[in-house]
């Protein structure tokens, strides 16, 4: 991996000394991801923490709440509207995939950045969407009517699905918008979200990687951070201001609901809120299920991805062309890889398994005193199900992270579609036309694929696969390995030079000249044989059994969740994250992981410049930014000769909160959430007030980059700034 930059150790030691008197109170930390429609129940607590506006300003059903300024960005991030003309602020890494699709060697937006100088320069992003949540409503009474809690999930879910379809249809008819109903509290409640999805989204601003991805894997999931992790887009609408497909004549989405931007900053202990779409948490699972995370899934994924990232990094460092092909993929793979390492560490340091076991003992004592006999055996049933499936989960995690970590094998799924074409008994001409369409649909994969890089991944992954999984490998893997005398180099060279899957040109040539007799060639393609053997094994022996397990464990978890709520009637429960709109709150707070040498709550551009290292791309700061720093040309955004960059707070966040607005007590934007501290990444399972911190880009740094570095002050002019 990347070596530690030469200034990192010195800087961190200096920070420890400088900030050693900044002791942090755990009173600054607040657990919980709250449904906006329930915030009235939280208002007293929120005001005691510092909230200065009515919760109706944060969410209401009459269209004037700030929920109308928060968007689901794409399929898994959050964004915020920061102007009346539909300007969206989100993370750099959230826009990465879309920008990769717009980039080329001639237009290298990762190296050079992009800032539109006017609206005519804004670039359409095909396939990108943003979704507004206009209203949320508890519809449990409509979804669960006549349904018994103890019914098995097969019967229960089928009836619930019928009710959901009916109720969603009713809301669509009434509101003329989209309606989506999801389960909360493991299926003990159901809420509907009334939404609008806009489909014409255009790129406005994207800083180069030397700003937006500064620090790479070394700083990812770490504090201190020095990353300007932001990007800007704009929502366009039809003439009626409603969602529309892309059209040149579309106009910027107009809205009265957008976030005002507070430029006066913050101090430690200031109240903060994070509004967004957290992805997945499992705060209430048992110790038996938690062990599957900490002892099986995470360690296997970390080991496999370490190998894949090592190979990718080597090839990306040697070729800019390969860098552009793999930069977005690498960012996605590395993100989970680093997060899971912190997660395992946090669960271990906090002894979370033991804490859950202690709670389970008290739960069992309570359960033994209940009239409902099914409650008494809940933990026993969950333990039997989980421990009885551990081995199967281990096998499939190796299959997914190791074998399917090889892109050539992954691509077998697309190749399968070509194989199916031969089963349609088409004429040769019809067959060729159909195959050509299938091959054309693979263009996106091959645009960002390098066979030589993947071949090295294959060799590394197979060494791990055979070393750990020899007892239950798909037979075809063993066969090919033995044919090549158990020599991974020979096997890899033969495989990648023989299969037509390694090249889109080979596939095109095959499709253009194929006849029905060529089905044999596909059937015996060595790469497809590997995929087919693995896919067959999973479909026949693993996936059905895992599906049965997850069905049973979901049923038991639902009953366990309800029992926990019955046991602790005075506790304010919040539902696990499920990529629906939530609000969390806390305070600006430094990180105090061990209670002895805390980190400050803020970093500055000066600290980033001290890490500048032109021998490493991830620590290379653009020359223009260094010049702005050298001359202290911070404009209206600097403070006492310094340029604030990032800060930490104690808001409860998760994946999906990337890009979320970070708000002050008045509901004004002070930053954009982009990460969690390494020590607290286990917050998806356990919230530790000493370690759990969300990390955000200071809005002043964002505006400094836009105006002074990007030369796009016209964007700032359309925002509403306050102090």
Residue (of 93, 83, 97, 85) closest to 126 by Cα position: 97
State how far the alpha carbon of 300 is from the alpha carbons of 303, 334, 464, in Å.
Answer: 5, 14, 10
Q: Is 229 a catalytic residue?
A: yes
Q: Using CA atoms, how far apart are residues 257 and 70, in angstroms rounded to an integer?
A: 9
Which of 83, 92, 93, 617 is labelled catalytic? 93
Q: Is 176 a catalytic residue?
A: no
Strands of 91-177, DSSP E:
114-115, 123-124, 130-138
Dihedral sign from CA coordinates of 424, 430, 431, 434? negative
Which of 658, 660, 683, 696 is labelled catalytic? 658
Q: Using CA atoms, how far apart are residues 647 and 639, in angstroms rounded to an integer?
A: 14
Strands of 176-331, DSSP E:
178-184, 189-198, 200-206, 231-237, 251-252, 261-262, 271-276
Q: Using CA atoms, how far apart are residues 693 and 24, in angstroms rounded to an integer?
A: 12
Q: Is 93 a catalytic residue?
A: yes
State how far the alpha carbon of 618 is from the alpha carbons of 77, 101, 368, 647, in Å.
Answer: 23, 21, 57, 20
**Looking at residue 126, what DSSP letter applies?**
T
Q: How remote is the C-alpha of 410 from its chain's centroid?
A: 21
Q: Using CA atoms, how far apart are residues 227 and 211, in angstroms rounded to an integer?
A: 6
- Distance from the first to the final alpha carbon of the chain: 43
DSSP code string of 574-587: -PPP-SS-EEEEEE
- Which element (helix H / strand E) includes 675? strand 669-676
Which of 229, 454, 532, 688 is labelled catalytic? 229
State how far the alpha carbon of 530 is from the alpha carbons of 404, 411, 419, 495, 581, in Å.
Answer: 10, 11, 14, 10, 42
Residues involved in catalysis: 93, 229, 658
């Amino acid at each position: 991996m990347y070596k530690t930059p030469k200034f990192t150790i010195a800087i961190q030691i200096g920070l420890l000394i400088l900030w050693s008197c900044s002791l942090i109170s755990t009173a600054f930390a607040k657990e919980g991801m709250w449904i906006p429609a329930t915030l009235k129940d939280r208002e007293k607590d929120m005001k005691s923490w510092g909230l200065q506006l009515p919760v109706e300003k944060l969410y209401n059903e009459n269209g004037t709440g700030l929920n109308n300024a928060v968007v689901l960005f794409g399929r898994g991030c959050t964004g915020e509207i920061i102007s009346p003309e539909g300007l969206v602020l989100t993370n750099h890494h959230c826009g990465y995939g879309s920008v990769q699709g717009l980039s080329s060697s001639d237009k290298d937006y990762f190296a050079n950045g992009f800032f539109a100088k006017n609206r005519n320069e804004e670039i359409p992003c095909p396939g990108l969407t943003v979704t507004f949540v206009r209203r949320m409503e508890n519809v449990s009474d409509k979804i669960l009517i006549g349904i018994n809690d103890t019914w098995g999930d097969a019967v229960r879910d089928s009836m619930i699905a019928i009710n959901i379809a009916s109720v969603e249809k009713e809301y669509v008819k009434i509101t003329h918008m989209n309606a989506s109903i999801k389960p909360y509290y493991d299926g003990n409640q159901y809420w509907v979200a009334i939404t609008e999805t806009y489909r014409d989204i255009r790129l406005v601003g994207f800083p180069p990687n030397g700003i937006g991805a500064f620090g790479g894997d070394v700083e990812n999931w770490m504090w201190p951070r020095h990353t300007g992790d932001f990007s800007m887009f704009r929502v366009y609408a039809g003439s009626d201001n409603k969602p529309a497909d892309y059209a040149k004549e579309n106009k910027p989405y107009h809205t009265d609901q957008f976030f005002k931007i507070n430029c006066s900053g913050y101090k430690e202990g200031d109240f903060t809120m994070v509004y967004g779409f957290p992805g997945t948490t499992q705060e209430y699972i048992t110790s038996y299920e938690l062990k599957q995370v900490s002892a099986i899934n995470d360690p296997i994924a970390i080991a496999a991805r370490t190998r894949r990232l090592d190979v990718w990094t080597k090839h990306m460092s040697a070729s800019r062309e390969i860098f552009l092909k793999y930069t977005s993929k690498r960012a996605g793979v590395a993100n989970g890889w680093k997060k899971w390492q912190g997660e395992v560490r946090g669960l271990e340091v906090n002894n979370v398994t033991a804490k859950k076991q202690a709670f389970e003992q008290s739960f069992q004592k309570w359960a033994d005193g209940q009239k409902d006999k099914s409650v008494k055996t809940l933990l026993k049933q969950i333990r039997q199900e989980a421990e009885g499936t551990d081995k199967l989960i281990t096998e499939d995690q190796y299959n997914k992270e190791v074998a399917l970590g090889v892109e050539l094998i992954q691509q077998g799924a697309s190749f399968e579609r070509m194989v199916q074409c031969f089963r349609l008994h088409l004429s040769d001409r019809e067959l060729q036309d159909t195959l050509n369409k299938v091959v054309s649909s693979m263009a996106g994969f091959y645009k960002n694929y390098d066979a030589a890089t993947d071949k090295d991944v294959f060799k590394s992954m197979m060494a791990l696969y055979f070393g750990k999984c020899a007892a239950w490998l798909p037979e075809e893997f063993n066969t090919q390995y033995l044919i090549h005398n158990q020599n991974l180099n020979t096997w890899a060279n033969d495989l990648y030079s023989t299969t037509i899957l390694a090249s889109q040109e080979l596939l095109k040539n095959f499709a253009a000249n194929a006849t029905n007799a060529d089905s044999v060639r596909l059937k015996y393609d060595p790469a497809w044989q590997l995929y087919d053997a693995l896919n067959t094994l999973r479909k026949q022996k693993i996936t059905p059994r895992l599906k049965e397990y997850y069905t049973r464990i979901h049923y038991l978890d639902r009953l366990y969740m309800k029992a926990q709520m019955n046991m602790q009637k005075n506790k304010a429960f919040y539902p696990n994250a499920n990529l629906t709109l939530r609000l969390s709150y806390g305070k600006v707070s430094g990180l105090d992981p061990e209670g002895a040498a805390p980190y400050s709550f803020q970093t500055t551009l000066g600290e980033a410049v001290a890490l500048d290292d032109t021998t490493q791309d991830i620590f290379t700061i653009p020359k223009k930014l260094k010049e702005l720093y050298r001359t202290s040309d911070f404009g209206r955004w600097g403070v006492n000769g310094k340029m604030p960059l990032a800060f930490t707070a104690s808001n409860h966040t998760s994946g999906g909160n990337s890009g979320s607005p970070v708000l002050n007590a008045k509901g004004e934007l002070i930053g954009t959430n982009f990460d969690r501290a390494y020590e607290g990444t286990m917050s998806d399972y356990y919230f530790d007030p000493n370690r759990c911190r969300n990390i955000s880009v200071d809005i002043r740094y964002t505006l400094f980059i836009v105006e002074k570095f990007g030369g796009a002050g016209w964007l700032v002019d359309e925002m509403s700034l306050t102090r």
